[in-house]
Amino acid sequence: MRIYLDNCIYQDLKKEENKTLYSSIIESKQYNIYLFSEAHLYDLSRDVTNEKYIDMEFIESICENNCLLNDASGARLLTPKEYYNMYDWENLIKSEDIFKSEDPFIKLIMDMFKNIPLPFNSIFKSDLFSSKYPKEFVETMTEPSDLKEYTELMLKASDQMKEHPFFKGILQGNREVNTTKEFYIAIGINGFDGEKITDKEEFKQSYVKYINQSHKFIKNTKVDSYQTFINMYMGLEILNIVKGKPQKQKFTNLMNDSRHAYFGAGCDIVVSKDIDFIEKTKFIYDIFDINTLVLSFEDFKSIPNLNDGNNFNELINEITNISEYLYNNNLNGEDNKVLSIALSKIYIGYFNMLYRVEHENKWSFIITKKVDEYKNKSLIKEIELITNILINNLGEDINNKAFFSRDEIINECWNGRTWYLGQMGIYLNFRNIIELIFYKTIDEN
């Protein structure tokens, strides 16, 4: 499994009370891949002491060089220190003073926000607002405005965006307001009544449209999935859809939480102690059908199968049971048809879906992983772990190939491994995602 721990988890794992859990995590690396991203380094880069380098070494002890990137590769072999040394983090942090920033990404967000209208004045009157709201905010909410003006107003109190008393004041006011269904309809968001989702698909489509409607105003800039995801995540707070805790909220925290959520979407499990982050991340993963489990630290500590990756024999048993059930109930399906079945658990740290295919009285079971937009490409590290686990269970393959070597993959092509077990063949390969194919080697006729 791919596992993504946020920074607060690493800080807790350094404590003596979690020494046993840390040892268990290290042991589980033979079955699981722990990953980090730029979001971890943004968090650490704000530490002006050398303690951040000690923290990077600790993250490396768990993640090694498994780095998630926002590019076509999806991941690269970089340690936290190697990644950190690639950038001028001091200037990157300064660039998050967003109204002075020359950073193209920050400027893009502001340009997009400028072109998203907020017709608050048609909905709100000044007497509706709590006394906790800043005066200038009430004036903006009762006059024509756009999302850039709204955001600028929230951030105006802090030149370097460190404390945000103005931003916090708005969020404190938000906590006292029950935003109505009519408000969201007025700004073009449907399927949400101010408290809960009433129509998931309608909300999804209208929310994406709302966030993306300004893209047509942005010239010579490609808005990718990373930027769109961050805008959607931040919108949950700014638009009062998932309310955070204003006493701890900073814009920089919200921005980096959105980064953690984006990179976490590429993993099977995300772990955090931050309740705000957990609630927003669960919300956005559910809306967009992202197959990632979001856990608190306590839930993560109680996972029973963290070291249960060597379960090949259990996989064989489940395939056998499925095959017998399909045969006994005449559910094999028509020729050339594909029957998909979700497996009861994750096997070998990866496989959770089965596809049965039958053609000319020959069947095959294709075991793979249910993927989504954020998990549609296998990592080389996954291929290595799975190959080596199968070699430990089945021995060398029919071509006398044993443990995986990275130089086997040439131009993203790999010959895989093939084994014979009686009348059954087993073929391990990958085409963006890893497949383990079980097939008959001898005709029943």
pLDDT band at residue 99 using 50, 70 and 90 as cut-offs? very low
Please give the helix or strand (H or E) that residue 230 lies within, else none: helix 225-238
Q: How far is CA 281 from CA 36, 146, 263, in A?
A: 17, 26, 11
Report if pTM > 0.85: no
Alpha carbon separation from 361 to 154, 213, 235, 357 (Å, rounded): 66, 52, 53, 10
Separation CA 225–CA 394 (nearest Å): 41
Tokens at 389, concatenated: 């686990």
Is 82 in contact with 88 (CB distance < 8 Å)? no
Question: Each residue of 43-85: pLDDT tens digit?
Answer: 898 888 999 999 999 999 999 999 998 875 567 889 999 999 9
How many whole angstroms separate alpha carbon 358 and alpha carbon 330? 13
Confidence of residue 240 (pLDDT cuts 50, 70, 90): confident
Query: Is 403 or 72 the better-scoring residue by pLDDT?
Result: 403
For residue 438, pLDDT over 90 is answered with: yes
Q: pLDDT class for 86, splitting at 50, 70, 90?
A: confident
Rounded CA separation 353/341 (Å): 6
143 pLDDT above the threshold of 70 = no
Structure confidence by residue, pLDDT tens digits, 153-202:
544 533 333 444 555 555 555 555 556 778 788 888 999 988 899 999 99
Instruction: Give the per-residue pLDDT at 411.
Output: 86
d(CA 403, CA 395): 9
Q: Quick check: 37 pLDDT over 90? A: yes
Token pair in block for residue 351: 């496989």
Lowest mean pLDDT among 74-83, 131-140, 230-239, 306-315: 131-140
Rounded distance, CA 317 to CA 354, Å?
A: 13
Instruction: Tokens 């931003």: give the residue.
Output: 167
Q: How confident is the model at residue 216 (pLDDT cuts 50, 70, 90)?
A: low
pLDDT value of position 169: 56
The top-scoring range by mean pLDDT among 127-136, 367-376, 398-407 is 398-407
400: alpha, beta or left, given left = phi > 0 and alpha = psi -120 to 50? left
pLDDT band at residue 354 using 50, 70 and 90 as cut-offs: very high
Q: Give the residue with greater pLDDT, 411 vs 51.
A: 51
Q: 231 or 390: which carries more pLDDT confidence?
A: 390
Close Cβ partners of 49 (under 8 Å, ≥ 6 residues apart): none
Residues 6+ away with beta carbon under 8 Å from 27:
307
What lies within 8 Å, CB to CB, of 273 at 6+ separation is 6, 8, 9, 12, 296, 297
Tokens of 416: 């895989």
Per cent of the chain over pLDDT 70 is: 72
User: Residue 373's pLDDT is what?
Assistant: 87
Q: What is the pLDDT of residue 162?
A: 40
Q: Work out the mean pLDDT of the chain and round it to a whole number.
A: 81
Among residues 150, 149, 167, which one has the least CA distance to residue 158?
A: 167
Of 44-48, 133-137, 202-206, 357-361, least confident by mean pLDDT is 133-137
Ordered structural domains, the chain, with CATH:
1-91+257-307 (3.40.50), 95-256 (no CATH), 311-440 (no CATH)
Give exposure, 41-69, as e/b (b: 16+ Cβ within 10 Å). bbbbbeeeeeebeebbebbbebbbebbbe
Which of the given ranges, 150-159, 226-235, 343-352, has the highest pLDDT on average? 343-352
Q: Above 70 in pLDDT, residue 334?
A: no
**Is residue 204 predicted with pLDDT exceeding 60?**
yes
Provide CB contacts within 8 A for 438, sequence distance 6+: 319, 364, 365, 367, 424, 425, 426
